[in-house]
Amino acid sequence: MNPIYLDNNATTRVAPEVLDEMLPYLQDLYGNPSSMHTFGGQLYRKIEGAREKVANLLNAHPEEIIFTSCGTESDNTAIMSAIESLPRRKHVITTRVEHPAVLNFCRHLARKGYRVTFVPVNNLGQLDMDFLFKSVDDDTAVVSIMYANNETGVIFPIAEIAQKLKERGVLFHTDAVQAGGKLPLDLKELPVDMLSLSGHKLHAPKGIGVLYVRRGTRFSPYVIGGHQERGRRAGTENVASIIGLGKACELAAKFLHEEATALKVLCDRLESALLKCCPDARINGDIENRLPNTTNMSFEYIEGEAILLRLNEFGICASSGSACTSGSLEPSHVLRAMGIPYTAVHGSIRFSLSRYNTQQEIDKVIEVMPGVIRELREYSPFGREKIVCPPQ
Ligand code: PLP
């Protein structure tokens, strides 16, 4: 049975067109792009073709695109590059709701003696902009703020932040791993200095990432070795995945608007049906400013993990908190930062959709969820008196 896969913020299916494009480079065309001979050297041109496609999705210049191994490497590199380029500055600003790729890297810097400010959010997941701008001082080396949150889908006002930080001469990095391929990103209009993407969030394979670095930005490499990526990221290129990512970006650029509209329709259908038929359910996050594919919902008095396990029996894949924190049963740091009540944090699950989801799949989830919630509440010490779902 094919799963009903609603966990696309964790990872996405590799698009068939992407796989087709990659296969020759995993089979016959296995050369090293740095080689002098034609067999390897021809791959260099293919990599440059992929770089152009990535640049096109971002309305950037190909020279501004650095291929990395993942979103995490791009995030770490951006922040490290900023503090290495400005060695006298010892202050870094980020938010309390970042992905661990930024959050834990900043905590690591704090342990190394850097001063790190974690900007709070309100109960809709919106950023405290006053706090952010008041935190910037002459010692600030870099500000790193995500474009859209992986758990709630909430979008931050990155254009406004980038403009204000530019006026104050502070380097700005945005982790756009969840925004890439879902929202239009025009780097001619958006004055960020650095931006991260990850292939496996937009139907390319795992193990390939992008760091955009605006021309003129001082850059210090994180992975040091050979001359690849014009000396900005050493290591023999992941040729097949780079080519796959190029194709994925081409598809995203072509279908972004129609896909976003279709995803929003499916997401709204799911949300409104679940709110109607499951009592004590709520949506977490700012519904006006959200990724079109993401809904984070809480069902009070039961555990999100229990919901996931029951859904799993129906072949439905979702997640509680982020993929990286599930398994630890640690309540989501994002929902806690939003001040969501404890019982709601524990009963939270995230559905994240992709171009491959259908209305039939969503209707199947709508069909099974009320029964799952009712059943779990029957076993919950807090849930019995809350059961008002109609019997199936
Ligand atoms: N940033 C965000 C917002 C993410 O959602 C993720 C992955 O979930 C990452 C960074 C890390 O990307 P990768 O898995 O490619 O290292």
Cβ contact 223:237 at 8 Å: no
**CA–CA separation, 251 and 132 (whole Å):** 36
| 92-119 pLDDT, tens digit each | 999 999 999 999 999 999 999 999 999 9
Domain end position, chosen among 228, 252, 276: 252
226 with 294, same domain: the answer is no
For residue 8, report the distance from its CA to the centre of ligand 1, in Å. 12
Of residues 200, 207, 249, 241, the one with CA closest to residue 22: 241
Cβ–ligand 1 contact at 198 (below 6 Å): yes
Same domain, 237 and 267: no
Which residues, 6+ apart, have CB-to-CB distance to 5 below 8 Å? 13, 317, 354, 356, 357
In a domain, 327, yes or no: yes
Q: Is residue 292 part of a domain?
A: yes
Number of domains, the chain: 2
C-alpha 153 – ligand 1 centre gap (Å): 13
Q: Which residues of 271-280 are buried (b: 16+ CB within 10 A; e: fewer)?
A: bebbeebbbb
Residue 291 resides in a domain:
yes
pLDDT at residue 321, rounded to an integer: 63
Where helices occur in 38-146 by DSSP H, the ranges are 38-58, 71-85, 100-111, 129-135
List all residues 6 or more positions away from 162 whose beta carbon is below 8 Å from its beta carbon. 172, 174, 190, 191, 192
291 lines ligand 1 (CB under 6 A): no
Q: Which residues contact 67 (CB under 8 A, 6 or more apart)?
A: 47, 51, 208, 209, 210, 229, 233, 237, 238, 242, 245
The residue to mutate among 12, 67, 99, 146, having the most atoms of ligand 1 within 8 angstroms of its beta carbon, is 99
pTM above 0.85, yes or no: yes
Same domain, 225 and 316: no
Q: For residue range 47-79, what is the model confidence (pLDDT) as tens digits?
A: 999 999 999 999 999 999 999 999 999 999 999
Ligand 1 contacts CB of residue 175 (under 6 A): yes
Residue with tokens 């799911």: 270
- Reduced to 3 states (helix: H, G, I; strand: E, B; else coil), residue 175 is strand
Q: Give CA–CA dist 211/81, Å, rounded.
A: 11
Is a pLDDT exceeding 60 seen at residue 323? no
Provide the CATH number for the domain around residue 109.
Answer: 3.40.640.10
Backbone angles phi, psi at 365, to 5 degrees: -65, -45
95 with 210, same domain: the answer is yes
* Alpha carbon nearest to ligand 1 atom 9, residue: 71
Rounded distance from Cα 99 to ligand 1 centre (Å): 7
The burial of 75, by beta-carbon neighbours within 10 Å (0-12 exposed, 13-18 middle, 19 or more buried), is given as buried
pLDDT of residue 205: 98
206 CA closest ligand 1 atom index: 15
pLDDT tens profile 340-384: 998 899 999 999 999 999 999 999 999 999 999 999 998 876 654
385 found inside a domain: no
* Distance of CA 251 from the midpoint of ligand 1 (Å): 20
State how far Cα 167 lies from the chain centre: 27
pLDDT computed for residue 322 by the predictor: 44
Same domain, 231 and 260: no
Does residue 22 belong to any structural domain of this protein?
yes
Structural domain including 22 reads 16-252
Give the three-class secondary structure for 210: strand
With beta carbons less than 8 A apart as the criterion, state whether 57 and 65 touch.
no
Does any ligand 1 atom lie closer than 6 A to the CB of residue 271? no
| Domain termination site, one of 235, 252, 269 | 252
Do 98 and 37 sit in the same domain of this protein? Answer: yes
Task: Tell me how far apart the alpha carbons of residues 244 and 21 are, in angstroms, rounded to a whole number.
Answer: 6
Q: What is the CA radius of gyration of the chain?
A: 22
Place of tokens 């008196």: 385
Does the pLDDT value for residue 28 go beyond 80?
A: yes
Please write down the long-range contacts of 332-336, taking CB distance under 8 Å and 24 or more positions apart: 332/151, 333/96, 333/97, 333/103, 334/97, 334/125, 334/149, 334/151, 334/152, 335/151, 335/152, 335/284, 335/296, 335/298
Whether 197 has a pLDDT exceeding 90, the answer reads: yes
Residues 325 and 371 placed together within one structural domain of the fold: yes
Q: Is the CB of 240 under 6 A from ligand 1?
A: no
Percent of the chain, pLDDT > 90? 92
Q: Domain end: 205, 231, 252, which one?
A: 252
